[in-house]
Amino acid sequence: MDDNCIFCRVAQAELPAHIVFEDELVLAFLDIHPIRDGHTLIIPKRHYVWFEEMPEATAARIMAVGQRLARVMKQEWGVKRVSFFYTGIHVPHVHAHVVPMHHRHDVTSVQYLEAGVEGYSLPPNPGTEALVQTADRVRAQMAMTV
């Protein structure tokens, strides 16, 4: 664990999160600046900066949880496509994004570049109540899937 890492602190329950799934290897929780409703992050509980540093079992678990989330998101939001991608630009702790796609540009850089190429714009925070409701929806569906 890295005491300065925000995601390590989330994994240790030192910081709050809208958790939708947790096991011994990974934690899945809602992004507080979602691209779309349901946008979920999956992190390893152990600290790894780069995804290629993770043990294969942890990487495989992240993918399996991402697949389960994708099935849930397709059902809950009625979308045909769910995006799964790794980034590490702003938090140096491996994290995968799982995003229900309502539009083909939902996960393109245009979502982040309103401030121009050298800037960066976070999508708006929908607020605690909306995140609680979304987490409840996803968690309920995750409990019914294998």
Which residues carry out catalysis?
95
Q: Contact 85/106 with Cβ under 8 angstroms?
A: no
For residue 17, the 8-state DSSP code is -
Alpha carbon distance, N-terminus to C-terminus of the chain: 29
Distance CA 92, CA 20 (A): 22
